[in-house]
């Protein structure tokens, strides 16, 4: 799909994008992780750069090649991702949380490799909650005009779950994907719906991740104020 020249409508803006999936270590060789590839976050970073933004990409464990023209910060865990996002968000016009952040991490880290022993019960992994980076950035009173975007994959009543999550997180926009065997969203061929805190809902048809990224930046740009 040929993409022509784009208007630099994000010139002079600093945007932060998180991508990939966090890994929570159990011992020196094992972690709890998820399947996020980072592709959507990297597409968001590349399209924002193409539209003129200064981009900080906080990438958690992605194997994708470094995108050109963005400041890349690599992180491993949710706690590290939080630190990097909050630091970059301090002077950002928009923050887009495309990363899959682990909700829990092991309560303790074994400095030596966990071993199995004959006749012993398997160990129990105790988990503790990770910080909610999206909720924290959304609630930060230091940047009142900052546009904050979350992503959510939902099943069952996808839109109702998405609307509830948008309110709970306090973000400006929430990109909702349906996951599971059937991707229906009613009967249309939408891959995602972008829910806004002002009540507008923007369906995005199935297509390249760059198209969804451009729709997200269109909606962000509409909400940016001043110069």
Give the pairing type, strands 104-106 and 24-27: unpaired
Rule CB under 6 A: say whether 140 interacts with ligand CTP: no
**Scanning residues 19 to 48, which ones bind ligand CTP (CB under 6 A)?**
none
* Residue among 3, 28, 91, 103 that touches Ca ion (CB under 5 A): 103
Name which position in 17, 73, 95, 133 contacts ligand CTP (CB under 6 A). 133
Report the nearest approach of ligand CTP to the CB of residue 221 (Å): 19
b/e code 70-100 from CB counts within 10 Å (16+ = b):
beebebbbbebbbbbbbebbeebbbbbbbbb
Q: Least distance to ligand CTP from the beta carbon of 11, Å?
A: 26
The nearer residue to ligand CTP, 38 or 150, going by C-beta atoms, is 150
- Least distance CB 121 / ligand CTP (angstroms): 30
Identify the CA nearest to 168 among candidates 200, 132, 127.
Answer: 132
Is 130 in the active site? no
Q: Does 92 bind ligand CTP (CB under 6 A)?
A: no
Query: Which of ligand CTP, Ca ion, none binds 133 (CB below 5-8 Å, type-dependent)?
Result: ligand CTP
Torsion of the alpha carbons at 158, 33, 169 and 46, rounded to the nearest 10? -90
Q: SS3 of 140, please?
A: coil
Task: Render 33-72 in DSSP notation, one character per residue.
Answer: -----SHHHHHHHHHHHHTT-EEEEEEES--SPPPTTSEE
Q: 15 touches which of Ca ion, ligand CTP, none (CB within 5 to 8 A by kind)?
A: none
Beta carbon nearer to ligand CTP, 50 or 152: 152
Which residues are near Ca ion by CB under 5 A?
103
Residues belonging to the active site: 34
């Amino acid at each position: 799909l040929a993409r022509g020249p784009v208007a630099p409508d994000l010139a002079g803006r600093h945007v932060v994008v998180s991508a990939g999936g966090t890994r929570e270590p159990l011992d020196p060789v094992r972690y709890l992780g998820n399947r996020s590839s980072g592709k959507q976050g990297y597409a968001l970073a590349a399209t924002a750069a193409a539209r003129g933004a200064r981009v900080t990409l906080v990438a958690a464990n992605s194997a994708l090649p470094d995108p050109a023209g963005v400041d890349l910060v690599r992180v491993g865990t949710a706690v590290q991702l939080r630190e990097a996002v909050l630091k970059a968000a301090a002077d950002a016009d928009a923050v887009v949380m495309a990363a899959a952040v682990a909700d829990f991490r092991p309560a303790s880290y074994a400095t030596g490799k966990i071993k199995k022993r004959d006749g012993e019960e398997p160990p129990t992994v105790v988990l503790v909650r990770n910080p909610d980076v999206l909720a924290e950035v959304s609630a930060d009173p230091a940047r009142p005009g900052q546009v904050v975007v979350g992503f959510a994959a939902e099943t069952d009543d996808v839109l109702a779950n998405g609307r509830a999550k948008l309110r709970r997180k306090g973000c400006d926009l929430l990109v909702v994907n349906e996951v599971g065997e059937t991707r229906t969203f009613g009967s249309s061929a939408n891959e995602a719906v972008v829910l806004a805190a002002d009540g507008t809902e923007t369906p995005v048809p199935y297509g390249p991740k760059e198209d969804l990224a451009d729709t997200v930046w269109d909606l962000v740009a509409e909400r940016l104020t001043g110069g």
